[in-house]
Amino acid sequence: MRRSLAPVLALSLLLPAALGAASPATPTGPALWEAWPTARVSPADPWGLKHSGLRVALADLQARHPGLITLVEEGTSAEGRQIPLLRLGSGPTGVLLWSQMHGDEPTATSALLDLMHWLGTHPQDPAVRQLLARLTLWVIPMLNPDGAERTQRWNAQGIDINRDALRLSSPEGRYLKAVRDRVQPTVGYNLHNQNPQVRAGATGAQAAMSLLSVPGDEAFSLTPGTRQTRRLAVAVDRLVQPLAQGRVARYDTDYTARAFGDAMTRWGTPTLLIETGGWAGPAEAERLVRLNFVALAGSLVALADGSLKTLDDAAYDRIPLNQRDATAALVVRHVRLASGRGLAPFPADLSFLLPGPFAGERPRLRQAVLTEIGDLDHVLGLAELDGTGLLAVPWPAPEGSDWPALKALLAARKLESTEEATVLSEAKAQGEATVAGPGYTGAVLLYRTLPGGRVQLAGAVLRGRVVGFEPR
């Protein structure tokens, strides 16, 4: 009897693959997006989740879903924090997902918690059943707990774990390699945040997510494994596009032998890199977690139900390329800038950045800065001001001062409405600390130019934001 049943069983296992994307079990991106609020156990602020909070969240998930999540073992960080390795499912295809190897990149850690809760709360959902039957998920949320504790990229040794795949000087890197070697997963998910000043293509929107089928060699050779991660990237793009149209990019990189994704692919675990970017607006951090949840849940389902195989991996090359340093918190365009050095005012655009919780490889900003002066046509301002007809003048911004205080101070010095020449000489008299240039943190006054060489104060850029200004 058993033998005669075998072909039927095999056929039924193959059926969803044959049906491909049409499988009724495959949830769409919007369906997963709508499922997230009830799947969600992650905190409002992913950066606020530290090692102790993660352990509480994991224990809670294990208690809520008995039998779903096995704590296989724990690695140990440089400072002795335990790094849990979790296992879900029992299928033949092993998938290793690790997040936060850079301590200040927490979005996917939150999404992994939500993913596990979603799996636990939908045991009868055909897509979930199939996922747990066909895949074995190996999950390391927060590989770098010491870095997370400090909201820094590096581990406690100051090592960038993602550049430690060859030397293995960090205990966290050694642990990740040891898990890979033992488990021999078919696919890897390397989960990061990237600097949010990235656009999806040269003229695209701010990239909310960038994807990379991580190469295993200099030549970016196409192998069955890298074709699969290319298809995974295509799957993520299709899932996420209806929710974040034009906000998905292809991560640009060279092959980096000492980086973990590249090494994983080389070692035989072809890896998909997901870099969460930015999506400016209210509740940005939560929307990005939600998008990550959609990407993870949807692509894993596609891998499990076979619909992934129906995707054309060539579509990967059509995902627009990441453009770095291509957004700013504020761009003021087409002003005449009096630099503060007494030079004749010249036409320029100005860009500003604000401090955020994430800095990547750069030092974290302590305050808002002017980042660039000149032709910024390629830069997308998350806020923009058309400064046509305005004279921009750097001016000291005493700590804690607001626009009314600044305005009162200028009025007291009779600089609210005056000759342009007077403003220029007063600005020059402020000295070298009040010269507009990359890294400048003071205010920039914005004067309307009036006939007869006169100017009228209209507003300012104060700590990276436009104040006082009312367009006419």
In the complex, which residues of this chain contact Zn ion (CB under 5 A)?
102, 105, 192
Q: Which is nearer to Zn ion, 206 or 351 (CB)?
A: 206
- By C-alpha distance, which of 211, 258, 26, 200 is closest to 108? 211
Q: How far is the CB of 148 from Zn ion (least distance, A)?
A: 12
CA dist., res. 75 & res. 138, Å (int): 13
User: Residue length, the chain?
Assistant: 472
Q: Which is nearer to Zn ion, 253 or 430 (CB)?
A: 253
Q: Which is nearer to Zn ion, 81 or 102 (CB)?
A: 102
What are the angstrom distances between the C-alpha of 162 and each of 96, 256, 452? 16, 10, 60
Q: What does the longest C-alpha to C-alpha distance in the chain come to?
A: 101
Instruction: Note the Cα 7 to chain centre separation in Å.
Output: 46
Q: How far is the CB of 115 from Zn ion (least distance, A)?
A: 19
Q: Which is nearer to Zn ion, 16 or 173 (CB)?
A: 173
Q: Which is nearer to Zn ion, 157 or 241 (CB)?
A: 157
**In this structure, what are the phi and psi dihedrals at residue 108, rounded to the nearest 5 degrees?**
-75, -25
- By C-alpha distance, which of 212, 281, 208 is closest to 251? 212
Q: Write the CB contacts of 5 (distance below 8 Å, at least 6 apart in sequence).
A: none
Q: How far is the CB of 80 from Zn ion (least distance, A)?
A: 23
- By C-alpha distance, which of 114, 112, 111, 110 is closest to 86? 112
Q: Which is nearer to Zn ion, 51 or 102 (CB)?
A: 102
Q: How far is the CB of 153 from Zn ion (least distance, A)?
A: 7
Q: How far is the CB of 274 from Zn ion (least distance, A)?
A: 10
DSSP 22: G
Q: How far is the CB of 209 from Zn ion (least distance, A)?
A: 13
Q: Quick one: tokens of 101? A: 């190897």
HSE of 264 in the Cβ direction (CA atoms, 13 Å)? 35
Q: How far is the CB of 102 from Zn ion (least distance, A)?
A: 4
Q: Which is nearer to Zn ion, 69 or 143 (CB)?
A: 143
Kind of pairing between the strands at 390-395 and 327-337: parallel
* 3-class state of residue 180 by DSSP: helix
Q: How far is the CB of 331 from Zn ion (least distance, A)?
A: 26
Contact 200, 209 (CB under 8 A): no
Q: Which is nearer to Zn ion, 103 or 204 (CB)?
A: 103
* 3-class state of residue 429 by DSSP: helix
